[in-house]
């Protein structure tokens, strides 16, 4: 039996989210910027048509923005995250085997599915359903393998003939080869610019060339990952659906500052914020950490003997209790902070992560189960309040109130779906 994989991908997702709640943006060039309003990370169709490239620094296109009246937005992660959850929940309503691959992509496995006889028509219905419920347009690729479904998705996105759904399983071998020949080697899933340059040395310029390339030779260079890629292009499924997201083994929270910071108090606030963020992520996956650490990054364009300094501590007992972790992080910060240095970024990391129910307590620790129960209850209420009323509604005092270290978001839109004070107004 042929395997059937489907990739659902939201078109121009960040820009599309902004357009959903502001009808004046329809058919207008829209761009979304990265952290600190640095580079373009999402573009609407019109923005692509006027030639704004992906990843270009914002300062380089200011004249173009003025000339074409481009609407500019800072990244609104709360809005995009919530819209992503809505899209993914709609997919899961109709299909059982779903892997959420990224914030705007999901794979579906229909290999042994009796859910629908005509997969293409059912997926067209899903596409219309998502558009109706969220305002987000998706492209859908259907193929025998994940890699081919990724290619099918790109075809569906770029060629209006497919009306947003491309089924490569219906293509003959000659038609499939013709389509693969149109896909540049650097556009194949898993092949970056550096790998593409290596393949081009051996005459591999597109997906069809890679499909017919010697997989044994590729395996010697790239290992089993390269071999699987070629097998997938030949219709042999190697990458299975990952329905259950594995708990993270390492969690990092960090952010660049909008400008260089020298004051200890500002960095202390930032480290406290990132530590709270790491602790919340640990609790979200029902985990605890034994190691916690802090790092500072100085401006790499200045003359420093080292640009990154860090310190970590192994805890006696694994924990996800925010006050305890924050206390350790601030102690580590005092060890590595040096007055007069120009710091550009800071962050907190946690590792040696295990499930909470597998916590190993220190042999000589004065363990009090009542205190642990109270701490867990406190953190549950802490997370519940922030989930209901918005992140940061309740926080540690060490996070402070001045936001000198917060990233620049000069073009931030409203959090239309997650903040009561910013709900869309109907006139």
Q: Are residues 195 and 314 in the same domain?
A: no
Q: Are residues 309 and 232 in the same domain?
A: no
For residue 302, pLDDT over 80 is answered with: no
CA quadruple 377, 378, 380, 385: dihedral, nearest 10: 140
From residue 237, give the alpha-carbon distance in Å to each of 147, 268, 287, 306. 9, 49, 33, 46
Cβ neighbours of residue 355 closer than 8 Å, sequence gap 6 or more: 247, 286, 287, 288
Distance CA 203, CA 213 (A): 9
Q: What is the pLDDT of residue 369?
A: 76
Q: What is the pLDDT of residue 97?
A: 92
Q: Region 373-396: what's the mean pLDDT?
A: 89
pLDDT digits (tens, 9 = 90+) for 121-138: 899 999 999 999 999 999
Q: Are residues 234 and 264 in the same domain?
A: no
Q: Look at 392 and 382; give whichever has higher pLDDT.
A: 382
Question: Two tokens at 208?
Answer: 């069809």
Of the ranges 187-191, 262-266, 274-278, which is most confident? 274-278
Q: Look at 422 and 272; give whichever has higher pLDDT.
A: 272
Residue the block writes with tokens 């907190």: 348
- Which of 245, 267, 288 marks a domain boundary? 245
Residue 406 falls within a domain, yes or no?
Answer: no
Q: Are residues 24 and 156 in the same domain?
A: yes
Q: Which of 370, 376, 371 is nearest to 357 (CA)?
A: 376
How many domains does one find in the chain?
A: 3
pTM of the predicted protein model: 0.83
Q: Cα 25 from chain centroid?
A: 25
Q: Region 292-319: what's the mean pLDDT?
A: 86
Q: Region 222-247: what's the mean pLDDT?
A: 88
Q: What is the pLDDT of residue 388?
A: 82
HSE on the CB side for 377, CA within 13 Å? 6
The mean-pLDDT minimum among 31-35, 61-65, 143-147, 217-221 falls in 217-221
Q: Are residues 235 and 119 in the same domain?
A: no
- Which of 170, 205, 233 marks a domain boundary? 170
Cβ neighbours of residue 129 closer than 8 Å, sequence gap 6 or more: 90, 94
Q: What is the pLDDT of residue 304?
A: 62
Residue 104 falls within a domain, yes or no?
Answer: yes
Q: Are residues 142 and 286 in the same domain?
A: no
Residue 117 falls within a domain, yes or no?
Answer: yes
**Which CATH number goes with the domain that contains 183?**
1.10.150.20
Q: Which of 11, 365, 357 is nearest to 160 (CA)?
A: 11
> Is residue 171 within 8 Å of 2, Cβ to Cβ?
no
Q: Region 336-345: what's the mean pLDDT?
A: 91
Q: Look at 252 and 393; give whichever has higher pLDDT.
A: 252
Q: Are residues 23 and 157 in the same domain?
A: yes
Q: Region 99-122: what's the mean pLDDT?
A: 84
Percent of the chain with pLDDT over 70: 95
Q: Where are the beta strands (DSSP E) in 233-307?
A: 251-261, 287-298
Q: Region 387-406: what's the mean pLDDT?
A: 83
CA quadruple 41, 43, 48, 54: dihedral, nearest 10: 0
Residue 319's DSSP bridge partners are 289
Residue 214 structural domain = 172-245
Q: What is the pLDDT of residue 40?
A: 96
**Which CATH number goes with the domain that contains 274?**
3.30.1490.100
Residue 147 falls within a domain, yes or no?
Answer: yes
Distance CA 383, CA 378 (A): 9
Q: Region 252-274: what's the mean pLDDT?
A: 92
Q: Are residues 153 and 14 in the same domain?
A: yes
Q: Are residues 241 and 307 in the same domain?
A: no
For residue 370, pLDDT over 60 is answered with: yes
Q: Are residues 159 and 196 in the same domain?
A: no
Residue 377 falls within a domain, yes or no?
Answer: no
For residue 180, pLDDT over 60 is answered with: yes
Q: What is the pLDDT of residue 213?
A: 93
For residue 244, pLDDT over 90 is answered with: no
- Please give the DSSP secondary-structure letter assigned to residue 36: G
């Amino acid at each position: 039996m042929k395997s059937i994989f489907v990739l659902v991908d939201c078109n121009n997702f960040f820009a599309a989210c902004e357009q959903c709640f502001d009808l004046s943006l329809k058919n207008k060039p829209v761009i979304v910027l990265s952290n600190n309003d640095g580079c373009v990370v999402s573009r609407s169709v019109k923005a692509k048509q006027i030639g704004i490239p992906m990843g270009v620094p914002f300062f380089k296109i200011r004249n173009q923005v003025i000339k074409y009246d481009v609407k500019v937005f800072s990244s609104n992660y709360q809005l995009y995250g919530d819209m992503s959850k809505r899209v993914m929940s709609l997919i899961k309503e109709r299909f059982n085997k779903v892997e959420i691959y990224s914030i705007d992509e999901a794979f579906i496995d229909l290999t042994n599915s009796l859910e629908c006889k005509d997969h293409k028509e059912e997926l067209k219905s899903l596409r219309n359903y998502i558009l109706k419920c969220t305002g987000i347009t998706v492209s859908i690729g259907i193929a025998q393998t994940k890699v081919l479904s990724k290619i099918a998705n790109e075809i569906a996105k770029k060629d209006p003939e497919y009306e947003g759904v491309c089924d490569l399983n219906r293509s003959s071998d000659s038609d499939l080869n013709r389509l693969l020949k149109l896909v540049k080697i650097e556009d194949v899933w898993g092949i970056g610019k550096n790998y593409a340059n290596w393949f081009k040395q051996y005459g591999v310029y597109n997906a069809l060339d890679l499909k017919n390339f010697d997989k044994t030779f590729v395996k010697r260079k790239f290992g089993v990952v390269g071999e699987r890629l070629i097998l997938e292009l030949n219709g042999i499924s190697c990458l299975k659906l990952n329905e259950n997201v594995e708990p993270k083994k390492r969690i990092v929270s960090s952010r660049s500052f909008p400008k260089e910071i020298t004051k200890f108090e500002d960095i202390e606030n930032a480290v406290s914020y990132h530590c709270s963020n790491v602790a919340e992520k640990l609790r979200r996956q029902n985990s605890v950490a034994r190691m916690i650490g802090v790092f500072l990054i100085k401006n790499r364009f200045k003359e420093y003997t080292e640009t990154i300094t860090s310190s970590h501590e192994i805890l006696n007992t694994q924990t996800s209790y925010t006050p305890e972790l924050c206390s350790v992080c601030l102690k580590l910060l005092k060890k590595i902070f040096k007055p007069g240095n120009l710091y550009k970024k800071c962050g907190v990391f946690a590792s040696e992560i295990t499930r909470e129910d597998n916590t190993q307590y220190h042999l000589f620790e004065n363990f009090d189960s009542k205190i642990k129960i109270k701490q867990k209850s406190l953190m549950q209420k802490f997370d519940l309040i922030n989930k209901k009323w918005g992140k940061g509604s309740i926080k540690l005092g060490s996070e402070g109130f001045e936001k000198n270290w917060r990233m620049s978001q000069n073009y931030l839109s409203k959090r239309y779906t997650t903040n009561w004070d910013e709900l869309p107004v109907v006139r």
